[in-house]
Amino acid sequence: MEQISSIIADGSFFHLAGLLVGALFFGMVGFRELSNDNFYGYFFFATGIFFFAIHAIFLLNLAPDQSAMQNLSFWNWLIVFMAPALIILYLLFGFFSLLMSRIRAGLIKLFFGLTLLCYLFMLGGSWPPDVRGIIVLIWSGLWFDVELTTAT
């Protein structure tokens, strides 16, 4: 739990995670719209790329002494920024699906979000960063698959 408190203590974490949530959301919506042969998918993809570019620019311009930049590698980026963004998206989409009376889809999304939280920060706190990063990569692929199959 010390890792979660040190991540949240840094204010730039919320900006970086929020930008990544926007990038993932608009990228998924763009992919879904393009798979339905809708032209608006290009607009959503461009918006997702914009959010990711702002995330990268903000991340590269942080001071080296901030906690977000200490020991930052690809695996640590996945754990520190991508995992909370995925957890937020899983939980928000799950609660929204429950509110829209899509109980099965909502429970699946809530299950994946809570298991990712449990695997990375409760059970897997001592696991190596590459194992935790691979779990985040698998869950991100599952998020796209779950969102595309449960979309109505």
CA distance 12 to 67: 9
Tens-digit pLDDT profile for residues 98-137:
888 888 888 888 898 999 888 888 887 788 888 888 998 9
Distances (CA, A) of 66 to 16, 43, 61, 109, 114: 13, 34, 11, 33, 28
Across the chain, which has 152 residues, the per-10-residue mean pLDDT values are 54 83 90 86 92 89 65 82 90 88 86 89 82 89 78 54
Model pLDDT, residue 127: 84
Range of the domain at 131: 2-150
Indicate the number of domains in the chain.
Answer: 1
